Structure formats: C-alpha cells, structure tokens
Amino acid sequence: LVLLILLAFYWFAVRPYSYRWKPCYGKQEYGICMPGNYDIHGIDISHHQGDINWTKLAESKETRYPIRFIFMKATEGGDFSDKRFQRNFKNARKHGFVRGAYHYFNPRTDAKKQADFFIKSVKLEKGDLPPVLDVEVKGKMPVGELQKKIKIWLDRVEAHYGVKPIIYTTRGFGNGYLSGELLKDYPRWIAHYNVEALRHNGKWHFWQHSEKGVLPGIKKKVDLNVFNGSSKEFQQLLIK
C-alpha cells in the first residue's frame, strides 16, 4: 500500500514537473531555465511588482532572451483599477516595449459593465497588443452561462478597439471551462508553469511558463511569457 501511494505521488505530483530538476545546458536567464525554440519573450506585471525602474528594465532587451512585450493589469470587475497601470503603460512605450493591457473577469459582475469600465480605462494605440480578458474563476454558475457572459465582454471590447481580444487562463481552467464553439476563435494566452512544453487542447499564442522571473529594475519576481510564432506573426497580431 505504501509503495502504491509513493508511486501515485510520483506519477501525479513529481513526474509532470520533472522539468524543474533537469540540467539547463546554458539556457539560464532571469533566474530560470528558459524554454527552447521561442524567439519572442515578454513579461506581465501589476501593482504587485511595486515601483519599477524602467531604465534598468530596458537592459533586459540586450540579453540572450530579450524582453519585447509587457502585459499589464488594468482593471478588475466593474470598478477596480490597478493603481500602477497608467504609469506602467506609459513607461512601457517610452522605453521601447510592445505593451498590452488585461482585465480580470469577475463572473459575479455584469459583463457589459466590466467591458465599459475597461474601455474607459485603457486607451490602446497602434502597435499595442490586443486587449486581454483574464478568466480564472467561474463562481457557481454553469459553464454555458459563464461563456455567454465572457462573450458579452469580448464582443463589446472587440467592437470598440476593432481587434479580437485575447483570452488568458490557466491550462486546467481553459480546458475544463473555456473550450467549445463559442470561444474557440479567440487567441489564447495560457498559464502552465514548470513544464518543458505547453500541452494545450487547441491553438495558442502566448505561454506564461514561469512565475519566478528575476529581472533588472523589478524587485519582486515576475511572470515570464513567450509568443508562439515568428516576428512577422507577432507584428500581424498588433493593433493597426
């Protein structure tokens, strides 16, 4: 019985994340072993990272894995604004990063109200990434109802900015609650940490592969991301 318990623990708790202990072979950067075969790297930030020294952060563009894009939390629910968003958003462009903004979705709040709040708060411009909807909880509502509320936000935001929004979620939540026909055509940004490769049921555009990044100019650890495509494909995704 003890042997079976140990085997089960290894299979479900250790084996999926064995990437943590693999040799890095010269791919060490930002305090972690970087995933291979990706040319475009980025981070995402919020007020949790505190004050950022943007001049120092710009040094990350000169590394082996240069940071090219930064997603920033803008809003949450129907009335919460990230207190550092406007400053971060302005500084990201000033220092030559491609910038993006995301909204954290609250399933208990009216979806139209959330969309209008994001639109009021975020002025996207040419060269910015499409708006992002961060969906990580569903509350007690059925999956179908959750997806309909999400679609209300997506449709209203797309109509305003003229570009299809990106859906951010974790791998498990996305596969469990955000699959199906209603949301299948939206670009995906998937969070899945400490694995060698992202295995997602469907096409994806961004992978948040670590929450332990150490970057110049940021005192706290930060999420690291890659874009799944070429430089040309990345440029095609940006707002025109």
Catalytic positions: 44, 136
How far, in Å, CA of 191 to CA of 172, rounded? 9
State the pairing for strand pair 222-227/206-213: antiparallel
- Going by C-beta distance under 8 Å and a sequence separation of 6 or more, which residues neighbour residue 186? 154, 164, 165, 166, 167
User: How far is the C-alpha of 132 from the C-alpha of 164, rounded, in Å?
Assistant: 9
DSSP β-ladder status, 80-81 and 98-104: unpaired
Give the rounded distance of the alpha carbon of 107 from its chain centre. 19
- Among all chains, which residue has been given the structure tokens 């411009």? 125
